Amino acid sequence: MRAMLLMLVVAGSVVGAGEARPCTTFRLQRGGEVVVGKSYDWDDGGGLVFVNPRGVEKRALSVDPRETPAAWTSRYASVTFNQYGRELPNGGMNEAGLVVEVMWLNESRPEARDARPTVNELQWIQLQLDRYASTAEVVAHAREVRVAPVYAAVHWLVCDKGGACAAFETLGGVLVVTSGEALAAPVLTNDTYARSLAALRARQAFGDVPAPTGSDSLSRFVRAAARLKAPGADLVRGALATLDSVRVAGATQWNIVYEPGRGRVHFRTAAAAAVKSLDLADLVTACGEPVPSLDIDSAAAGDAEARFTPTTLAVNQRRVTESFARLHRPGLDRLAELVARYPDGNRCAAPPTP
């Protein structure tokens, strides 16, 4: 399996280093109430929403036989938004109120190979959601594993229900974590956090001037940051309005709003604009039971919980196959079944000894 998956490493040059891939993530807060918004911008809008159980023993999906895959057991259930199959999320939230989202970053350069166990750039998200309850925990443990990218150059924004956020970036082969007071504006787009914050501060130096209207990364960062001080009376509506303000024509596929303190999630897509909502606690199943999932383009508005169905191999395989096909790289179609079957290798953890 690993020998075939090595083809994915070669396929990692599908997207040219100079191409822009717009995405925006931000945190709004008023008092103790926190929401996190995400605009997922890509050329493919298909996806599944999964509810992942706690108590699952996992071994990372490795594509390089020279690496040691990370191994862990999920402590927390989570809801994730996945385009490339189960266990490889583009973002999500766990039952402890931790939110992790990914954005493209051309400047990202992975850390050099060493003895640490590895995960790929999407499974890093699932690892954090499975193991940690707070941003502080993610920061404390971030260097225990190394990210071995398969396809994308990315960085991540992590926030928790208390409002603490941190940006994680691998720049020049070094993991850079920006948190606390250094993360002056909890926003991330597609430039390094340092460059984005410098652009915001340069604009603020001119006083009260209108936010830029462009769709480029720095303009979106400044627009989202400008809304942090006045998020509105209703934070969910404020987040949706902020997502409207950073929308990129022809690229925005998903809008997601997390309420980490309530365990609620709201989402809409380019193909199904009505807002759907769910409560994570109502959908969690025990390890060993079928994992609930929902087509992200489910059309009906409102409560989406009743429309979740048990995930089958065929459902996961169809999602992986369709997403790989959109990458337009010969040979990826032969890997779809292997990636789709990957979650079947995970096992339920043994119950603790009395």
pLDDT digits (tens, 9 = 90+) for 123-163: 999 999 999 999 999 999 999 999 999 888 999 999 999 99
Residue identified by tokens 């190394």 is 146
Q: How far apart are the two ends of the chain, measured CA to CA in Å?
A: 38
Assigned token pair, 280: 């994570």
Distances in whole angstroms, Cα of residue 188 to Cα of each of 104, 110, 349: 10, 19, 36
Domain ranges of the chain: 2-340
User: What integer pLDDT is reported at residue 287 of this predicted model?
Assistant: 96
In this structure, what are the phi and psi dihedrals at residue 311, rounded to the nearest 5 degrees? Answer: -75, 130
Which residue ranges of the chain lie beneath pLDDT 70?
Answer: 1-20, 206-209, 329-333, 351-354
Residue 280's contacts (CB-CB under 8 Å, 6 or more residues apart) are 51, 77, 78, 79, 93, 95, 263, 264, 265
Q: Which of 335, 329, 349, 350 is nearest to 88 (CA)?
A: 335
Q: What is the pLDDT of residue 9?
A: 46
Model pLDDT, residue 208:
67
pLDDT per residue as tens digits for the range 100-123: 999 999 999 999 999 999 999 999
Handedness of CA 225, 229, 233, 234 (dihedral sign): positive
270, two tokens: 């380019």
Q: Is beta strand 99-104 parallel, antiparallel or unpaired with respect to 154-159?
A: antiparallel
Q: CB within 8 A of 211, min separation 6: which ones?
A: 203, 219, 222, 223, 226
Q: Is 57 helix (H, G, I), strand (E, B) or coil?
A: strand
What CA–CA distance (Å, rounded) separates 240 from 257? 7
Q: Report the predicted TM-score, pTM, of the whole model to 2 decimal places.
A: 0.93
257 close to 35: Cβ distance less than 8 angstroms: yes
Q: Domain 2-340 sits in which CATH superfamily? A: Penicillin V Acylase; Chain A (3.60.60.10)
